[in-house]
Amino acid sequence: MTPRDPTERDVELLESHETDIFAGFEGDIPGEPGRLETWIRAYGPAAAAFVVVLALWEILTRALDIETFLLPKPSEILDRFITNAPIIWGHGFRTLVEALGGFVIGGTLAVAMAFATVRWAAIREGLLPFAIAANTMPIIALAPIANNWFNVTSPLSKMAVVSVIVFFPVMINTTRGLFEVDPGELDLLRSMAATPREVLRHVRIPNALPYFFSALKVASTLSIIGAIVAEYFGGPQDVLGQYILNRANLFQFPDAWAAILVASILGIAFYVLIVLVERLAMPWHVSLRATEGG
Amino acid sequence: MVAGTNSRERGRGDGVSDAVVVARGVGKVFGTDTDRVEALRGIDLQIARGEFISLIGPSGCGKSTLLRLIGDLLQPSAGELVVNGKPPRQARLDRDYGIVFQQPTLLDWRTVRANVELPLEIMGVAREERAARAEEMLALVQLAEFADHHPWQLSGGMQQRVAIARALGFRPALLLMDEPFGALDEMTRELMQQELLRIWTETETTVVFVTHSIPEAVFLSTRVVVMSPRPGRISAVIDVPLAHPRDVETRESDDYYRLITEVREALRRGETGEGRR
């Protein structure tokens, strides 16, 4: 294969190909900057910064001769990340199951509770202040208690902690979204003699979606953090938290860092998944109009 | 201008037997005993089928409050209101009126078409019928080609036209408009006034229109109701016998200027408290 410079024609082909894939998306106007170009403009600076930081890290740890147990070199971490891949990804999977399980349980209960606050004023007035107070508590401190309640060896004990962590921000935000509705829209629905159920369906729920998704984004990263920290308090050994703890105790810090890298990747992937679902669910929202299409 | 029969197809109502809105001694007080504001006092008004009534007055004269009382978005503290021969609440439940606010209040998550269909959907109109009516209404406000756009892709004037299409889609007996063109620039505003008159003529609906613009009130109305504040009350009712259809020439006619002066003087008298009825 003889490498050659990409010609303008190639770039055009690439762009038209990209455009075809996303045909039908609004904002895909011919003559606008190509997708590739837009992506590079949008993500180029962050990617460059990432590479620079890694390079500096590598150079400085070598130049200053920093001990591995203080701060391993990126190359060492990468080495362990590759050689230990089957183990740490296996652990990562089990941690992810705990995080996802807790996320689904906590999120479902939170949404159910948010709808209950719309239906029954007593719940809104009686329980919401406590929910807001509970949201400020360091819920992770409950982990040893959850281990006691749900059996330390069961993933349920970790899911319980995660679900409590996820519950409060999702419930509080969704409730706000269901209530912070434009009064004009409520007047409008009233003029149409809409029932409370129709107001919920046509105004309150769509209005709550942005609030709900911003809470889910926070909750997605919190759920991975919650699962790992809950694992520090004991349980099966084949999970990320216990692995990080054990390798750190044995001064095998590059192993611990490699596991942390797995946790980060899982956290980011979870977050990105929520963002994608958000785009599908509410393409009309003001925050997404500029980014959809070209 | 304000005469006619029960049949809306044949012309404008005679104003007595065929009243769409009747207000008798209507008053409205906001707040509690310690902090009360009397927004309206002793409102007597009759609006005949097919009329175009403007409520005009300075801020705080209660013109929007009166509109919201007619639309059952507020309840009167005194007196009696009858809309389409029944209490306002029943009229609202029967979907006797469409309403247009100063803000278009379109739902961002719905397309233009779906926004127009919303009241029909809530009324349980069948899908095909909804689509047909939305089509018809969007053609009426000349936005047919924008049916599949989202509201934020439209200009302010276009959004307000969608709101008008939505309010008229279920063919209400009464169209309530609360400063609908207040947020638009002067050029768009005059175009919209022209559009609204055309729509009013074509649909033969009855309109109650709140504004603080004297030329707007005169250009649009069959009668201008002049209100004055503290407490809000009707200080004058001025007939506008300008011929239809009204257009740019109407705006340049002597009669038009004379009526504007008449309304302005009525407003001034109301302000100084001389013109109380």
Q: Which residues of A touch B86 (CB under 8 A)?
A: none
pLDDT, residue B269, reads 86
- Interchain contact, A206 vs B109, CB within 8 Å: yes
Q: Which residues of A touch B99 (CB under 8 A)?
A: 187-188, 191
DSSP designation for B11 = -
The most confident of A25-29, A90-94, A234-238, B194-198, by mean pLDDT:
A90-94
CATH superfamily assigned to domain A69-292? MetI-like (1.10.3720.10)
Each residue's pLDDT, cut to its tens digit, for chain B (277 residues) gives 444 333 333 344 444 457 888 888 888 888 877 788 888 888 889 998 989 999 998 888 888 999 999 989 998 888 899 998 889 998 888 888 889 998 899 998 999 999 999 999 998 888 998 898 898 888 888 888 898 889 988 888 889 889 988 988 888 889 999 998 888 788 888 888 888 888 888 888 899 999 989 999 999 999 999 998 888 888 888 888 888 888 888 888 888 899 999 989 888 887 775 444 4
CA distance B166 to chain A (A): 11
Whether the predicted pLDDT of A5 surpasses 50: no
φ and ψ at B97, to 5 degrees? -140, 150
CA distance A229 to chain B (A): 39
CA distance A192 to chain B (A): 6
Largest Cα separation within chain A, whole Å, is: 75
- ipTM exceeding cut-off 0.90 for this assembly: no
Cis peptide before B172, with omega less than 30 degrees from 0?
no
Of the candidates B95, B107, B152, the beta carbon closest to that of A192 is on B95
Whether the predicted pLDDT of A205 surpasses 90: yes
- Interchain contact, B122 vs A202, CB within 8 Å: yes
- pTM beyond 0.90: no
Mutate to test the interface with A, among B108, B109, B111, B162 (most CBs of A within 10 A): B109
Q: Which residues of B touch A289 (CB under 8 A)?
A: 152
Whether the predicted pLDDT of A70 surpasses 80: yes
Return the percentage of chain A with pLDDT > 90, whole number: 49
Contact B164, B141 (CB under 8 A): yes
pLDDT, residue A127, reads 83
CA distance A278 to chain B (A): 13
The DSSP code sequence of A41-60 is: HHHHHHHHHHHHHHHHHHHH
Which H helix or E strand runs over B196?
helix B186-203
State how far the Cα of B154 lies from the Cα of B163, in Å rounded to an integer: 12
Overall residue count recorded for chain B in this entry: 277
Q: Residues of A near B (CB-CB distance < 8 A)?
A: 182, 184-185, 187-194, 198, 202-203, 206, 282, 284-286, 289
Hey, where are the domains in chain A? 12-66, 69-292
Q: Which residues contact B35 (CB under 8 A, 6 or more apart)?
A: none
CA distance A273 to chain B (A): 22
CA distance A282 to chain B (A): 7
- Interchain contact, A190 vs B109, CB within 8 Å: no
Could you tell me the two tokens for A37? Answer: 């170009």
Q: Which residue has the tokens 């008798």?
A: B24
State how far the Cα of B115 lies from the Cα of B112, in Å rounded to an integer: 5
Q: Which residues of A touch B94 (CB under 8 A)?
A: 193
Mutate to test the interface with A, among B83, B101, B122 (most CBs of A within 10 A): B122
Q: Packing angle between helix A74-83 and helix A253-281, nearest 10 degrees?
A: 80
Using only the alpha carbons of chain B, give its radius of gyration. 18
Q: Which residues of A touch B178 (CB under 8 A)?
A: none
